[in-house]
Amino acid sequence: MIGHSFGAQLAFEIAQQLLSRGYEPAFVGLIDDEADLHKRRFGIKSRPADPQNINAYCKYLLHSYVPQAFPGDLTLLQAEIHNTDILADPYTGWKDICLGNVTRLTIPGNHISVMGESAIAQWAETLTQQLNQSRQLWELNQKDPNRLTQLQTNLETYQQQKEIIALTEARRAAKTGNLSEEISYYENALSLKSTQSYWVYRNLSHAYWQKGMKEKALETLNQSIAQEQIPIVGYEIMANNRDLKREKAYEKTLAEVIQYDEDIAIVQKALGKLMLQHNQLQLAEKYLHRVVFLAPDDLEANFLLSKFLKQQGEYAPALTITRQLMNHQPNNVSIWFQYLQLLVLTQESNIEQVLNQWLKMTPDNLKAHLNCAKFLAKQEYTVTSSQLLDKIIQQLPTHSDGLSILQEFLRFRQLPKPLSKFLSRPKIAKIILHFFKFVSSHDYVRSKMLKS
C-alpha cells in the first residue's frame, strides 16, 4: 500500500491495523509526508469538523492522530524540492517510529507536482524496482512461521519502555491542549534518556514558551539545535519567536545561522526566507537569487522572490513572477493572495473579482481571511475589510479552528485602526463568552483569554 501526503498517514495506519489483525503488508510506501511529530502541526480544535466537509474533516482527523510505532519496514519517497524540515532530519521523523528499515528515495518535483503525470512517469520505474525488492523480501519472511509473532513481540517490548510511553503521552497531551501534562511527560522522558531526537526538545521548548518559562524554552531549543543535522530551522524558530526581544541574542542568532551557508538550493531557500522575515534585505536578495539559479523550478523559491520584490516596492516584476506561478499552480491559495495584494498595490481594476475568487477557494480558511482583512484595511479599503471581518465573526462559532482564530481576535489592538474601531470591546467580550465553555480543558488558551 502507498499514499501521498495525508494519504501517507492513512497508508501507515492501515498497515498498523493489518499487522494487529495478523497480516503483514508486503510494501508500505509514504510519498512526501512527515511523521507529524512536531508540536507546531498539532493544533487545538474546539470541536470535530463537519464530516460532510471532507477536506476539513480529514484535517481534523490528522490533527487528532497520534502515530504509534510500526514494527515493519517503510519506503519513504521524498520530493526533490522539499520543505526545510528535511534539513533537521532527512527521514522527517519516520525513523523515530519505525522499528524496521526505512528506505529513503528521492523523486523529481515538489510536494504537489510529484503526483503529476509527467513526474510519475519519471519515478515509476524506481517504485517498481522497490516494490519487487519488497515483495521478494516479504515472500522470504513469510516462510518463517514465527515472523508475525516476532514483529508483535518487538512492538510490545518497544511500547512498554517507560521513555516511549512518556513520549507518546506527551504528544497525546499536546493534541488535547493539556500543557502541564505535556511538559511533565516530556521531562519524564528526558529523565529516562537524556539524549533524544531534536523534535522532543523542540516540542518541549514550544511548551515551555507557552507556559511563560522563557529561559527553559531557550535552553531546550538550543538542545534541539544541537541534535539537528543542519540546524537552520531551529535557529529560524529562535529568531522568529516574538518573546526573544533581546537585541544581542537576536543578532547572535542570525549571525550563527549564516555559518550554514552551503551551496545547496534548500539551504539557500531557508536562509533567504529567514532573512526576508527579519528585514535583512541585502542578504535575502543574495540567497533568493541564488536558490532560483540553483533550482529554477522551485516554485516556493520563486514565490519568496516575488514577496521580496513586493517588499522592495518592485511591484511590476513581482506581479510577473506571480502570474507565472499561477500558471503552474492555479489552485494555490497563497499565490492567489499574493496576486490579490499586488493588484491592490498596483491599483488594478479587477480587485473585487480576484478577491471573490480567492474567497471561494478558501471558504473555511478564516485565518487567511483575517490576514486579508488586515491588509485591505492598511491599504484603506475600509468598507471591504470591515465586510470581510463581519463574515468571519458570523462563521466563528461553528468553525473547527474557532479557538485559534479567537486568539487572533484577542490581539485586536494590533489591527489597523479602521478594524480596531469595527471590532469593539463589547463585540470581543461577546465572542469570548460564547467560546468560554469550549476551553475548560485547554489551559493555555484559557489563560490567554482570561489575561486579555
pLDDT value at residue 352: 87
DSSP one-letter string for 228-270: -SSTHHHHHHHHH-TT---HHHHHHHHHHHHTT--S-HHHHHH
Beta-ladder partners of 104: 76
pLDDT band of residue 368 (cuts 50, 70, 90) is confident
Enclosing H/E stretch for 444:
helix 443-451
pLDDT value at residue 151: 93
pLDDT value at residue 200: 95
Check if the beta carbon of residue 138 is closer than 8 Å to that of residue 26: yes
pLDDT value at residue 43: 47
Torsion of CA 197, 203, 206, 210, to 10 degrees: -150
Check if the beta carbon of residue 330 is closer than 8 Å to that of residue 354: no
CA 206 to chain centre: 14
Quick: pLDDT tens for 94-153: 999 999 999 999 999 888 889 989 899 999 999 999 999 999 999 999 999 999 999 999
Q: Is 38 helix (H, G, I), strand (E, B) or coil?
A: coil
Check if the beta carbon of residue 255 is closer than 8 Å to that of residue 274: no
Check if the beta carbon of residue 105 is closer than 8 Å to that of residue 27: no
Domains of the chain: 2-159 (3.40.50.1820), 162-229 (1.25.40.10), 248-311 (no CATH)
Give the pTM: 0.74
pLDDT value at residue 314: 94
* CA proximity to 109, closest of 363, 262, 313, 297: 297
